[in-house]
Structure 1
Amino acid sequence: MIRVYGGWPSRSMRVQWLLEELGVAYELRAVDLRRRMEDAEFMAVNPGGFLPAMVDGDVHMVESLAVMEYLLERYGPGGLVPATGAPERPAYLQFLHLGEAGMASFVNILVASRFAAPEGEKDNFGARTAVQMFTGRLKLVEQRLGEAPFMAGAEFSAADISVCYALEFGARLGLQDRYAEAVTAYMARLAERNGYKRMLERWRPPA
């Protein structure tokens, strides 16, 4: 059975949500985010110490979007990926990767500044620039929602999982006041999906 090493909140959300949408059984192995470097089993799977990590037989993977692409290839897209050559495919690819490379990655800088920087450096140049970069890319999501209900077009796809995580990550850092009404409504719609709800129900904090 697939084993997902995850914590809450973390990018493991993407992998868990996708597995729920695909209807693929998995085991969730909770990792304490504050003490993950002391978790020998987890560190053996991912010496880099970041989440998620996934084991599927002999396959060991990290990086949430890479894991998602592997799962979609291995277990079938389940309607979550537009076909190669489909008119929705370019938007799908763009927003699948924008959710991490263009959005969530910048929030990481904000996390480091807010929670790890010395007191006088919490609102530093890097943190302010990260917010600007995130907000700039947020405009692409706003524009897309003015064209279609989901990132790939008329139907929900794995790109929505990627982007939704980034939006929730930003909201946890206090950026939600920058979200247009359409973005907030989009997040609320996605949170009503059964796969999303099952993902939340499955998660348990580490003992």
Structure 2
Amino acid sequence: MITVFGEGRGFRVVWLLEEMGLPYRLRDVDLLAGIENDAEFLAINPAGFIPAIRDGNVTMVESIAIMEYILGRYGPSPLAPASQDAAFPAYQQFLHLGEAGLAASLFFVSGARHLAPDSERDNWSARQAMDVFTTRLSLVTRRLERAPYMAGDAFTAADISVGYSLEMARKNVGVVFGDPVQPYMTRLRARTGYQRALETCHATRRWWGS
């Protein structure tokens, strides 16, 4: 059975596992309390960030890499179009853009706004990171003007990647979405896999709902 360590971006992994119907266990990691005494977790990821997984003798970190591992190891799955499928290029692009273009930028904006001293909460780097998020979001918006999902007509793991980042933007940074992004988020939230993942991820549910 796959053990998922930590929520945060680990929500992506749990959501994927729910969509694929795979058994797993979510193991809490409390970063705010400090992880120096969490020997089990540090043995999985000595760098001390989440998420991470353990699957038999396999350990991995980085949410998108974990998703690709699960899809490759336990697929094939319609959540990952085959390389010869016409939907594959868009799928691959948005799978990675969800983290590299969206969530990674939001991480620094959120840190500045919530954790930095007052004088540093709107610094140059935070503004630059927000600009990066905004430009990459325009690719998502343009895609949704042409198709209901990131890879086209069907829901894929790329939507899990992007969907998590949009929720992060809404809650952590206060981004307000209109058409066509808000209806897209509503479609994602209606999925039973999303709802089951949110039921499992108690901290995520409390944070997004607060």
Q: Does the alignment reach a TM-score above 0.5?
A: yes
Query: Unaligned stretches of 5+ in structure 1?
Result: none
Q: Identity across aligned pairs (percent)?
A: 52
Q: Trace 1:38-187 onto structure 2 (pairs within 5 A).
A: 38=36, 39-177=38-176, 179-187=177-185
Shift of 1:138: 0.5
CA distance in 1, matches of 2:107, 2:201: 22
The answer to whether the 8 A contact 2:109-2:173 is kept is no
Partner of residue 33, structure 1: 31
The answer to whether the 8 A contact 2:78-2:156 is kept is yes
Partner of residue 11, structure 2: 13
Shift of 1:116: 2.9
Shift of 1:175: 3.8
Structure 1 range deviating more: 56-65 or 79-88: 79-88
Q: What amino acid is the match of 2:41?
A: F
The answer to whether the 8 A contact 2:80-2:156 is kept is yes
Question: How many residues in Structure 1 have an aligned counterpart in Structure 2?
Answer: 202
Q: What amino acid is the match of 2:82?
A: A
Structure 1 range deviating more: 180-189 or 67-76: 180-189
The answer to whether the 8 A contact 2:54-2:60 is kept is yes
The answer to whether the 8 A contact 1:88-1:152 is kept is yes
CA distance in 2, matches of 1:36, 1:12: 18
CA distance in 2, matches of 1:190, 1:126: 31
Q: What amino acid is the match of 1:24?
A: L
CA distance in 2, matches of 1:204, 1:174: 21
Shift of 1:86: 1.1
**Quick one: structure 1 residues 124 and 114, their matched pair in 2 at CA, closer, same or farther if it must change by over 3 Å?**
same
The answer to whether the 8 A contact 2:169-2:175 is kept is yes
**Which deviations, in whole Å up to 9, do the C-alpha atoms of 1:110-165 show, x marking residues without a partner?**
12212332221111111111111101111100000011000000000000000001
The answer to whether the 8 A contact 1:17-1:195 is kept is yes
Shift of 1:75: 0.6
Tell me how large the CA RMSD over aligned residues is: 1.2
- Partner of 1:61, secondary structure, is strand
Shift of 1:36: 4.2
Aligned pair 1:189/2:197, yes or no? no
Shift of 1:106: 0.3
- Partner of 1:79, secondary structure, is coil
CA distance in 1, matches of 2:90, 2:202: 34
Q: TM-score, normalised by structure 2?
A: 0.92
Shift of 1:204: 3.5
